[in-house]
Structure 1
């Protein structure tokens, strides 16, 4: 069954001096301020499309990795994923670095690395962002 999730952005004014809000409509979890400086300079309490992509990618990757590990008979105790999305004005998103730390009892380092790479390739958000260089740093916690 397909699902659709919705967010709405309202923007006023020009790019450089304008401002907007992005609302997470499907969940109703909130409305967040967004401005050009929150993308290209310091956030100062505002979000950006890149931060929202980082949130989507880190959560999707964690779910895909957890699912793959459980399917292989080695469910994780914990998975923590950080996504760093790099934005360069004039160029766009130039890279994404995923950093995952997971506690997976009974899993070898080699199998952990294979599962981590598999999750990177098969996560739906990774697939949607296939035009961007995505790197992965993975650490198996003992």
Structure 2
């Protein structure tokens, strides 16, 4: 399975801008620029997209592990904070809130840690990954 996205950039780094498009068209000419990456502007940036990918991938992996244990999942919400410093992604922090019936906090924490290290995006990014999880 392969997934594709295209970036089109026009102009210089600081004055130019670009658009991102995915084959699925979920991103369809989504705007990004120097301002959206390093200042504040309307549009997205690569680090925000990594955060979305990491939170989504991790949440699906955690869901798979909880489902294998046959627990009833009401909801799992994961926020991902990507820390971008000096031209590098230096860390990814996952904040997880789960509503899962009958699971113990210890087992939930164990599955969070397992998903943190094994989801495909965690394995892709070469950075420090941390998490904090709350069972609601």
- With normalisation by structure 2, the TM-score equals 0.94
Give distance in 1, aligned partners of 2:42 and 2:16. Answer: 16
Is the partner of 1:5 in helix, strand or coil? Answer: coil
CA drift at 1:15: 1.4
The correspondence for 1:58, drawn from 51, 55, 60, is 55
1:86-140 residue CA offsets vs partner (Å, 9 max, x unmatched): 112x3311111111100111111110100000011111000001x2111101000
Which residue of structure 2 lines up, in the alignment, with residue 28 of structure 1? 25
CA RMSD of aligned residues (A): 1.1
Which residue of structure 1 lines up, in the alignment, with residue 82 of structure 2? 85
Is the CA contact 1:57–1:83 (under 8 Å) kept in the aligned structure 2? yes
Structure (1 or 2) with the greater strand fraction: 2
Aligned length: 135
Matching of residue 135 in structure 1 with residue 133 in structure 2? no
Runs of 4+ in structure 1 deviating by more than 3 angstroms, as ranges, are none
CA drift at 1:52: 0.7
